[in-house]
Structure 1
Amino acid sequence: MEKECLAELNVKIVESCLVPPCLPSPKPTLYLSNLDNQPAVRMVINAFLVYEACENVLADPAKTIQEALSKVLVYYYPVAGRLRKKEDGKLQLECTGEGVLFVEAIVDNSLSVLGDLNQIKPSFKQLFFWFPSNTAIEDVHPMVLQVNRFTCGGFVVAVSFHHIIFDGQGVGNFLKNLGEMARGHVKPSIEPIWERDILKPSNVLVQDLKLIEEKIESTSHSWKPPIHEESIQMSLTFDYETIKYMKQRITQECMDICTTFEIVAALVWRARIKALKIPHTQSAKFFFATNVRGSFNPPLPNGYYGNGFIFACAQATVHDVMNQPLSYIVNIIKKTKMSLNNKYLRSTIDMDQFPSDIFSNQANMLLSDWRWLGFNEVDFGLGSPVNICPMHWNENGINISNAFFFLHPPKGKVDGFKMITWMPLQKFQLFEMEVEAIVNKYIANDFQN
């Protein structure tokens, strides 16, 4: 892992305001699907996009993006509304037209202070607007944008979005459309579609045996982690040459084609369990966000920006994850992906049974692949961002050391991909050693052959 010497940020808020659609918009109350209401998406996701200064530098990127925001909200008018709770506890969206919270800030540093974002310092939190942790969900805006201008002429666009309204691909398309408006487009190239009614539960309950088994599975003996362990945001970078060697070897073991995602996911699952010394008697669950837009019959329409993903759950004993060949873990992941057909998905929606224990047990692991969500294609007139990164800051002792994200590396860096995670420093160092040991084993075996 590359070490970086990062300075503290000095961020000053210039202005904050609500940006409504620039044209009058409808004011209905809109249905949110069971996929939108699943427990694991009741959270705000934060990410920032980094743009270097160039010859075509925007004179005022904040003003350009603010004006573009008012235009794109004409098509995304629900995003200018507010979430509301129903009597049954489910959420719906009231189209109030109030607007998206927009913040302009200046930073008394150059972009070099951020490094490659392999490590995140507490002062980086200033790049975002944060609601207090006890804010009612009705008062949390579906989206907040903060444009941070640096002394070098570069800027950072920090976006906070409520996962109930968007999934990753949905917000990626929103940001790409926002960029198009900033570049002078009259309308989005892919018009957004709300239509959450497509995923309403059917009248005839279709029950999948596997779902029922998961529902009644006992978790009374789950191992609980320390609850006040301080986690930090760190990263590893995998180069494609290394992955190629491992893929060749594991493909031979599996006698099947394996994807880069499956290989690295299996590698990370094993390394994490060993680094955290999770007891071998435990059952380990590996949740991974899977785009299922095309798995429905018919597929969800192009432009749909609601939650069109599901947390697939691969499961094995810790003993098997640690002792079986890596190809064994890859096959578990492959079979889990293959099970996500239309019947399974409709059963999940009809029964309204979604995993609620993802973050409650440290034997569990969550992985989300951000490489294909479109963040790297967001162009406000200066080209694509040189770097993107999620941002979480640990508050009140909350431990999210079971979450991992795959990202593209910064522009001009190694040809591979980057993995972000949150762990206590000592455990991250153990995790890094375990990853290196597994990789070296496969590369050494490849060279010996």
Structure 2
Amino acid sequence: MGSTVHVIEATIVTPSEPTPTRVLALSALDSQLFLRFTIEYLLVYNAHPGLDRRATTARVKAALAKALIPYYPLAGRVRAKPDGSGTGLEVVCRAQGVLFIEARSDHNVNEFEKAPRFVTQWRKLLSFHVADVLKGAPPLVVQLTWLKDGNAALGVGINHCLCDGIGSAEFLNSFAELASTSQTKFAEFKFKPKPVWDRHLLNPSPFKPTRNNTNNNSLSHPEFNRVPDLCGFLARFSNERLVPTSFIFDKTSLNELKKVAFSTSRPGESNYTSFEVLSAHIWRSWARALSLPSNQMLKLLFSIDVRNRVKPSLPSGYYGNAFVLGCAQTSVKDLTEKGLGYVTMLVKRAKERVDSEFVKSVVELLSHSRACPDSVGVLILSQWSRLGLEKVDLGLGKPVHVGPICCDRYCLLSPVFNQTDAVKVMVAVPTAAAQRYEHLVRSFYL
């Protein structure tokens, strides 16, 4: 059974000063079908002995209200554009507010050092779960939970249509810095970077036709193409209980993975990054553990930040969705038999495809269709370890744990407390594959 969480207070927090009343259009990247969900972060803190909980809660609420002044769209409500197309979204900004929850729990801080026992064990640390982000729910929910041992957890749910990982982390760091700022400096607080809306910068209208901009555009974008389900892939993930897993890769193990990748690569391959070798190793271990048919096609999808890949670059402080999906694709046979170097090369090539022209073609495609990644044969991986979440300090110190509220079939790379070069990998796999997956993840040379 899950641990008990009791809600002490649930209240709507509005911007502490008047904000513009307007309707703001979201970009084609913001409006994608597969982003219509809530990003759910969990940050856990070792609180100082003798901490005044009432004063801390008041500081957090005041900081949230002030942060909502420049980030006022987060206090609005997201809806479909009334043109009936179904492809575009907008946010109605009338300072409707965000939901703040204070709670207490019988969790303790040591529980978060390992994977949860089941997918939803930490669900109540963000008690208000938004099932449909277009049904009028607040785009932002913040829950401060006091743990049994006197420590604290911060659960944050943020509508993915409004922010990507980088944008949401910038907001959280500004909000947290406000919460830890003295009263004398609170009024003069400067947001760094200053939040920038400017979603029009990713509109298709200024774009000229590109090399990929054809009637068969989707053929240039394997991330949106479907592959046949030869093994009841979707049914397995729907019907079999998923087991959460958590592994830490430190600098030594990441360097070891790089050596293995080079030793199994073609001559002349250039340097691999830690992300490339780690994501390849995780994808390969996951595929081998599932024991899929050798001719089943598999994909690894991962987000690629395009802020500095588009021309001109997006301005600092742009907090909307500014990423496209990288897609590595191959058969089970090649993925499992050709070695880590081959798989790492697939990831590297997927990253290299993404330039300004590629981004334009994605925007064009999404502006005129309901293109959406399929789930068959897909492992989705998201890199939270480079967002700056490990710096979110509410005045309680840096978080000792950063991860998702629910550990599910999407793979997350998270930062590790006090280990700058280390990465925590969290993903839930079907029960029958869990033991083999854990063995393969630990075995670099198999």
TM-score normalised by length of structure 1:
0.87
Q: Partner of 2:308: helix, strand, or coil?
A: helix
Q: Partner of 1:295: helix, strand, or coil?
A: coil
Structure-2 residue corresponding to 1:239 = 250
Paired amino acid for 1:187 = K
Out of 279, 283, 293, the position equivalent to 2:293 is 279
Q: CA deviation at 1:199?
A: 0.5
Report whether the alignment pairs 1:32 with 2:48: no
Q: CA deviation at 1:207?
A: 4.6
- Aligned positions of 1:41-440 closer than 5 A: 41-54=35-48, 57-60=51-54, 61-86=56-81, 87-89=84-86, 90-112=88-110, 114-121=111-118, 122-131=120-129, 133=131, 135=132, 137-184=134-181, 185=186, 186-202=189-205, 204-208=208-212, 211-214=217-220, 219=226, 221-223=228-230, 224-225=232-233, 226=235, 227-251=238-262, 253-254=265-266, 255-352=269-366, 356-358=372-374, 360-361=375-376, 363-392=377-406, 401=409, 403-411=410-418, 416-437=422-443, 439-440=444-445
Q: Deviations over 1:301-351 (max 9, x none)?
A: 110110011111111122211221321111111111111000110111012
Seen in structure 2, the aligned counterparts of structure 1 residues 132 and 33 have a Cα distance that, compared at 3 Å, is: closer
Partners of 2:115 and 2:228 lie apart in 1 by 36
Q: Deviations over 1:44-91 (max 9, x none)?
A: 121111111225845432221111000010110010000111221121
| Cα pair 2:102 2:143 within 8 Å, conserved | yes
Partners of 1:182 and 1:429 lie apart in 2 by 43
Partners of 2:225 and 2:126 lie apart in 1 by 40
Q: Partner of 1:22: helix, strand, or coil?
A: coil
Partners of 2:167 and 2:218 lie apart in 1 by 30
Q: Deviations over 1:72-117 (max 9, x none)?
A: 10110010000111221121111021101111112245433x2414
In percent, how many aligned pairs have the same letter?
28
| Cα pair 1:53 1:152 within 8 Å, conserved | no
Q: Partner of 2:324: helix, strand, or coil?
A: strand
Structure-2 residue corresponding to 1:4 = none
Partners of 1:147 and 1:234 lie apart in 2 by 25
| Cα pair 2:112 2:401 within 8 Å, conserved | no
| Cα pair 1:69 1:178 within 8 Å, conserved | yes
Bigger Cα displacement from structure 2, 167-176 vs 58-67? 58-67
Structure 2: gaps spanning 5 or more residues = none
Seen in structure 2, the aligned counterparts of structure 1 residues 24 and 124 have a Cα distance that, compared at 3 Å, is: same
Seen in structure 2, the aligned counterparts of structure 1 residues 117 and 191 have a Cα distance that, compared at 3 Å, is: farther
**Cα RMSD, aligned residues only:** 2.4
Paired amino acid for 1:390 = P
Out of 5, 16, 37, the position equivalent to 1:22 is 16
Q: Partner of 2:113: helix, strand, or coil?
A: coil
Partners of 1:283 and 1:71 lie apart in 2 by 49
Q: CA deviation at 1:392?
A: 2.5
Q: Partner of 2:239: helix, strand, or coil?
A: coil
Q: Partner of 1:281: helix, strand, or coil?
A: coil
Partners of 1:404 and 1:300 lie apart in 2 by 27
Partners of 1:234 and 1:91 lie apart in 2 by 35
Paired amino acid for 1:423 = V
Bigger Cα displacement from structure 2, 424-433 vs 305-314? 424-433
Partners of 1:238 and 1:339 lie apart in 2 by 27
Partners of 1:33 and 1:97 lie apart in 2 by 21
Q: Deviations over 1:214-262 (max 9, x none)?
A: 4699747333422322223221222321221231342353531011111
Seen in structure 2, the aligned counterparts of structure 1 residues 123 and 315 have a Cα distance that, compared at 3 Å, is: closer
Q: Partner of 2:190: helix, strand, or coil?
A: coil
Q: Partner of 1:385: helix, strand, or coil?
A: coil
Q: Partner of 1:337: helix, strand, or coil?
A: helix
Q: Partner of 2:373: helix, strand, or coil?
A: coil
Bigger Cα displacement from structure 2, 53-62 vs 315-324? 53-62
Seen in structure 2, the aligned counterparts of structure 1 residues 329 and 408 have a Cα distance that, compared at 3 Å, is: same
Paired amino acid for 1:435 = V
Seen in structure 2, the aligned counterparts of structure 1 residues 120 and 308 have a Cα distance that, compared at 3 Å, is: farther
Partners of 1:322 and 1:80 lie apart in 2 by 47
Partners of 1:316 and 1:357 lie apart in 2 by 16
Q: Deviations over 1:248-278 (max 9, x none)?
A: 3423535310111111111112111111122
Q: Would you say how many aligned residue pairs link Structure 1 and Structure 2? A: 422
Bigger Cα displacement from structure 2, 100-109 vs 300-309? 100-109
Partners of 2:143 and 2:116 lie apart in 1 by 21
TM-score normalised by length of structure 2:
0.88
